Structure 1
């Protein structure tokens, strides 16, 4: 397990933030780690919505149980964290 830096472009936030996440974290855990820096600070919570992670400006979200180390991201690469219904 190692810390892996990603740039979080969180939906509704105007700040892109560098977030260190364990490389063994699932995408749900990545989304939660990014949410800690945005939700209830500059972004209102959206109850009932699910946070999903995708490569920046790519429409396809990563599977929720995929490990960060298996996503093929580069250190400090930007990911979008978005609210979805599924």
Structure 2
């Protein structure tokens, strides 16, 4: 378990934010952390829809149960978050 800073861009937000996550967190936990800083603030809430995480520029999201450590993400790499 180690702290890893990621750059995060939530679809619909105009700001890229620094998001500190733990390498043991799952992508669902990363999504929840990012949502706390964007949804209802710069991004409209979308109840009942799942937030997904993908590496910037990737076409497919990470599996929801994948950990940050298993993703291979490096410090300050950018992730994109969106409602599925």
Cα distance in structure 2, aligned partners of 1:73 and 1:4: 9
Counterparts of 2:76 and 2:35, CA distance in 1: 17
Correspondences of 1:40-59 after superposition (within 5 Å): 40-59=40-59
Structure 1 segments, 4+ long, off by >4 Å, are none
Partner deviation per Cα, 1:52-73 (whole Å, 9 max, x = no partner): 0000011111000000011011
Q: Secondary structure at the match of 2:83?
A: strand
Instruction: Report the TM-score, using the length of structure 2 for normalisation.
Output: 0.97
TM-score norm. by structure 1 comes to 0.94
Matches within 5 A, 1:37-76: 37-76=37-76
* Matches of 1:52 and 1:17, distance apart in 2: 16
- Within 1, Cα distance between the matches of 2:33 and 2:69? 15
Instruction: Give the match's secondary structure for 2:66.
Output: coil
2:4 aligns with 4
Aligned length: 84
Gaps of 5+ in 2: none
Q: Distance in 1 between matches of 2:23 and 2:55?
A: 16
RMSD: 0.6
